[in-house]
Amino acid sequence: MNDAKQQRVARLQVLGSEDAEAFRKIRLKALTTDPSAFGSTYARESAEDLDFFRKRCSPSEHGFVVGAFDGSELVGMAGIFRESGERRRHQAVVWTMYVLGSHRGTGLGRKLLDDVVSRARELDGVLQVRLTVNAANTPARELYASYGFQSYGIEKRAQIIDGESHDEESFVLFFDE
């Protein structure tokens, strides 16, 4: 990827209800191109109306989604949601982390991760961030490990997709270590 492309992808912002259509488009693309990276499916989410996506991408007291824009195109996303139970409110979870193939290898994934983790650090009482990743996704696993996330286990056969099992690796980043 050339430097000009990397320079243009400079705008990160928390998505709002006005971004629902762009969020829907990239989310469905992600579910199509990398189905083993997500717990949901294209078939399930493509049947949902725009209001479903509006609710999922709009910030709330429980979380938000950060989008990366190249001009007006949403080319990457990463979300955080805070656990809601009284005994688990100290944890936030990264979800829907995805960068379009055309923008991979530019550092955009790290930039998105840095943004959502920084915002999670500002949430009162949050002490750690968790995430899961397909255990076969070496670039993502290496990104999380290089950022300071620690692996704490592999769930065998976490997903079965088209008859093929996929393991998931769980990671955590402790803010107080």
CATH value at residue 133? 3.40.630.30
Mean pLDDT of 41-64: 96
DSSP for residue 17? G
* Confidence category of residue 177, pLDDT binned at 50, 70, 90: confident
CA angle 7, 10, 15 (to 5 degrees): 155
Mean pLDDT (the chain) is: 94
The range of the structural domain enclosing residue 112 comes to 3-174
- Give the model confidence (pLDDT) of 119-129 as tens digits: 999 999 999 99
Q: Let me know: does 119 contact 66? Beta carbons within 8 Å.
A: yes
**Whole-angstrom distance between the N-terminal and C-terminal Cα of the chain?**
35
pLDDT for the residue 9: 65
Phi-psi domain of 63 (left: phi exceeds 0; alpha: psi -120 through 50; beta: other) = left
- Report the range of poorest mean pLDDT among 2-11, 67-76, 87-96, 136-145: 2-11
Tens-digit pLDDT profile for residues 14-50: 999 999 999 999 999 999 999 999 999 999 999 999 9
The yes-or-no verdict on residue 143 having pLDDT over 90 is: yes
For residue 8, what pLDDT is reported?
A: 61
- Report CA-CA distances (Å) from 109 to 39, 66, 113, 114, 141: 19, 11, 6, 9, 12
Number of domains in the chain: 1
